[in-house]
């Protein structure tokens, strides 16, 4: 089974590339983030024409997540259980389903904006709610994974230059501690090291030629429980999808498992 995660940075802008990639890469399950559309406006018909069901959590603003599957969508959940509110409501940042016997969560962790901002505190609260969800769902014999844009680089090796991010979000101690607590529920970062190339970043800013210069960050992650991690046969970042006109600023992360 091929499972992927991709922050598309607007499903409307990226739909032609997404449809072409679904046909060329052939994933069985795809977790999408940053849809920037409502559930009603999501292009389910176009995606269904390629054989995929869609589970969508979107409110039309800058967030939004989805799970696409051609192996079933059972026990769907939209929204993070016990997740905190921001500006009076829960943002559209999580969706889950069981696909072909594998439980997957598509998550778009809050950015945090800047250290000391209320959104930074919200980010840490959101991660704690995610940890509690993993604590309930990760144990057991069924494969389970949380995939998505975590908006955190787990280590200094996951950014092109740590000094550039000094004092900024994505690399702070509390954020990384929250990731550590999440892993302590029984989850493992399934991306192998080293990969087939150096610096397996997943995000490159559009500005200042960051992609050609490989000034990136690894913030799109796949955390799996023991049964999921043991089933992994390959994992890679599809850098080709970051190239060319109309690309997202993130590349898909693809994991092949044997179930």
Phi, psi of 143 (to 5 degrees): -65, 135
Question: Is 161 part of the annotated catalytic residue set?
Answer: no
Q: Consult the annotation and say whether 149 binds a ligand.
A: yes
Measured in degrees and rounded to the nearest 5, phi and psi for residue 120 equal -70, -45
For residue 9, say whether it is annotated as part of any ligand binding site: no
Known binder of ligand: residue 117? no
For residue 249, say whether it is annotated as part of any ligand binding site: yes
Choice among 52, 158, 160, 250 that is catalytic: 250
Residue 198 among the catalytic residues: no
- Per DSSP, what are the bridge partners of residue 253? 5, 237
Residue from 28, 52, 149, 150 carrying the catalytic annotation: 149
Instruction: Mention every residue, 6+ apart, whose C-beta is less than 8 A from residue 70.
Output: 28, 29, 50, 51, 52, 53
E strands of the chain, at which residues?
2-7, 29-33, 53-57, 65-69, 74-78, 94-99, 102-108, 144-149, 188-189, 203-204, 216-217, 220-224, 232-237, 253-257
Selected catalytic residue, list 108, 120, 122, 223: 108
Instruction: Verify whether residue 86 is a known catalytic residue.
Output: no
Just list the catalytic residues: 108, 149, 250
Binding residues for Mg(2+): 7, 34, 149, 151, 249-250
Binding residues: 7, 34, 149, 151, 249-250
């Amino acid at each position: 089974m091929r499972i992927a995660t991709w922050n598309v940075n607007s499903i409307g802008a990226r739909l032609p590339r997404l449809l072409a990639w679904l046909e060329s890469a052939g994933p069985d399950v795809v977790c999408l983030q940053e849809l920037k559309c409502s559930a009603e406006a999501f292009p389910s018909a176009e995606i269904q024409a390629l054989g995929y069901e869609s589970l969508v959590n979107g409110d039309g603003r800058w967030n939004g997540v989805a799970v696409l599957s051609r192996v079933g969508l059972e026990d769907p959940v939209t929204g993070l259980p016990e997740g905190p509110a921001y500006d009076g409501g829960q943002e559209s940042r999580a969706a889950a389903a069981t696909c072909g016997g594998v439980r997957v969560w598509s998550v778009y962790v809050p950015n945090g904006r800047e250290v000391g901002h209320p959104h930074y505190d919200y980010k840490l609260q959101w991660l704690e709610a995610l940890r509690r969800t993993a604590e309930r769902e990760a144990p057991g014999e069924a494969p389970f994974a949380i995939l998505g844009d975590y908006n955190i680089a787990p280590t200094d090796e996951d950014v092109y230059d740590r000094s550039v991010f000094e004092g900024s979000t994505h690399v702070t101690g509390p954020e990384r501690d929250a990731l550590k607590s999440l892993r302590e529920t029984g989850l493992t970062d399934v991306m192998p090291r080293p990969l087939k190339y150096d610096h397996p970043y997943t995000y490159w800013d559009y500005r200042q030629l960051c992609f050609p210069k490989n000034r990136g960050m690894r913030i799109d992650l796949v955390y799996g429980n023991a049964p999921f991690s043991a089933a992994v046969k390959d994992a890679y970042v599809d850098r080709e999808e970051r190239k060319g006109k109309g690309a997202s600023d993130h590349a898909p992360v693809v994991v092949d498992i044997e179930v």
